[in-house]
Each structure stands twice: as structure tokens, then as C-alpha cells.
Structure 1
Amino acid sequence: MRGLFSTLIVVLLALVIVTTEAGKNKKEKNKGGNGGADCAEWRYGNCVANNGDCGPGMREGTCNENTKKLKCKVPCNWKKEFGADCKYKFGSWGECDAATSTKSRTGTLQKALFNVDCQPTISVSKPCTTKVKNKPKGKKNKGKGN
């Protein structure tokens, strides 16, 4: 019985030592993988999708000589022209240009996420709609005997 008890003590002591060493290694990895936590001005590139034009991807950050990669996501319904990291406030759509059959509007930069370089103003256009607005819809006739 005494032999089993001493074996159990040795196994527990070994487990504590291995766990402590693993914790030290993890802390060292975090220091190295932090990529210069003391750096104040990180600059990040655009999010680049892993497959195709949208979905999960990676963005690269640089500061002085340090670089790191972050996971990100490119929305599938986003305008590729100005990126998902530049947030703009848009005005109203302009009148339809008969020559090009498009209408346009401009947006001013409100926020640049991840210190991405964004254009201060942008202009976007879309085809004019040819639909004629119908009369306002009233209550539908849901009675019996129709």
C-alpha cells in the first residue's frame, strides 16, 4: 500500500512540473507572437479573403519592423471599391443621367477601422430604375365570397 502511495505522489509531482513548464512556454510564445506590444502605431492592410472575393480571411499589420496577421471577414454583400474597413456617410442619390442611365452619390469618410488608409470622399453610381411607382397599397380584400 505504501508503494502505491509513493508512486502516486511521484506521478502527481511530475504532472505539476510538466504543467508549470508548459505554462512558461506558453507565456514565452505569447511574448514572441505579440509582435511588439510596445509599438504604438500599428497600420493594417485590407482584409483579404482566403477563398474568392468574400468570407473569412487575413489582414496584415505592421509597426516599425514588426508584423502580425489577424483573422478578419470580408462581407459578401460589401462594395469592393472602397473596402469593408472604410465607413462612409452618403448623401442622397442624384437625378438619373439620361446619357449613362446611372445615378450617383458621394460619401465622406466617417471612420477608418484598423488604421487603414481610406479615401476622404468617394463617389458611387448605380443604374437608374425604370420602374414606375404604383399607387399606395391599401388593405387587401380578404373577405369570403370573392
Structure 2
Amino acid sequence: MGKERKRTQYFNVALGLISRLKYEKNKPSDSGSECSDWRYGNCVPSNGDCGAGFREGSCDQQTKKMKCKVPCNWKKDFGADCKYRFGSWGECDPTSGSRTRTGTLKRALYNAECQQTILVSKPCPGTPKTKTTGKKRKGKGN
């Protein structure tokens, strides 16, 4: 029973050390703590358009890289670091076949440069898709 208890204690200590190291690894370093005007670039995914990646920050002569994540459902038009509050969808415009809504900037993460207001659109619901009419194909062997 004594060995079991010691093993559990060692495990808990190791787990505590690992979690502390992980926290300190993602925490901004104190070496640049005197600098208060950090500027960060966009999050650049390591692979493809979304997922885990890095963003670079700079302040005076210092630079640092931080881990970040680009959500896979982000809107490329206005970026993953710009958060907007959207109104309701407008009426369907029959000439364009789409409806629009306006978003006002809620917050900009990492001092990102964001537009104050944006306009997004999507196709109208129930809009019939145009089909090309052609000759009907006859069955096999006819």
C-alpha cells in the first residue's frame, strides 16, 4: 500500500510540473514587460487556411511569436481577429438574388486593424436554381 501511495504522489507532482510548464510556455515572457505597446500581426495557420498557427508581435526592438488558432468557419473578408455584432438579415433583393446585413465592430483582438462597419450578403432562401434544359436521354439500348 505504501508503494502505491508514493507512486500516486510522484504522479501528482509530475502532473503539476507539466501543467505549470505548459502555462508558462504560452504566457508572454517577462523579458519585454517594460514595453507596453505591443503590435501583433494576423494569425497565420501552419497548414492550409485554418487551424493552429502563429502570430508575431513587435514592440520597439523586441519581437515574439505566440501560438494562435484560426477557426475553420471564419470569414476571410474581415479576418479572424475582428469580432462584429450583426443586425438581422434584410429583405431579399430580387435583382441580385441575395440579402444583406450590417455588422458593427464589437472588438479587435491583438490590436488588429478592423473596419468599423462591414456589409455581408448571402443568397436568398428558396431561390430556384436555373437548370439548363437539354435533350432528354433515352434509356439503354434505345
| TM-score category, normalised to shorter length | 0.5 to 0.7
Q: How far apart are residue 91 of structure 1 and its match?
A: 0.7
5+ residue gaps, structure 2: 1-28, 128-142
Runs of 4+ in 1 over 3 A off after TM superposition: none
Contact 1:60 1:69 (8 Å CA) reproduced:
yes
Residue type of the alignment partner of 1:38: E
Match of 2:126 among 130, 133, 137: 130
Residue type of the alignment partner of 2:69: K
TM-score of the two chains, using structure 2 as the length reference: 0.65
Aligned residues: 99
1:101 aligns with 2:97: yes
Alpha-carbon separation, structure 1, partners of 2:110 and 2:71: 16
Contact 1:35 1:68 (8 Å CA) reproduced:
no
Q: Deviations over 1:97-136 (max 9, x none)?
A: 11111111111111111111111111111111117xxxxx
Contact 1:61 1:69 (8 Å CA) reproduced:
yes
Alignment of 1:1-146 (within 5 A): 36-130=32-126
Sequence identity (%): 65
5+ residue gaps, structure 1: 1-32, 132-146
Corresponding residue number in structure 2 for 1:135: none
TM-score of the two chains, using structure 1 as the length reference: 0.63
Q: How far apart are residue 36 of structure 1 and its match?
A: 2.1
SS of structure 1 residue aligned to 2:104: strand
Which has the greater radius of gyration? 1
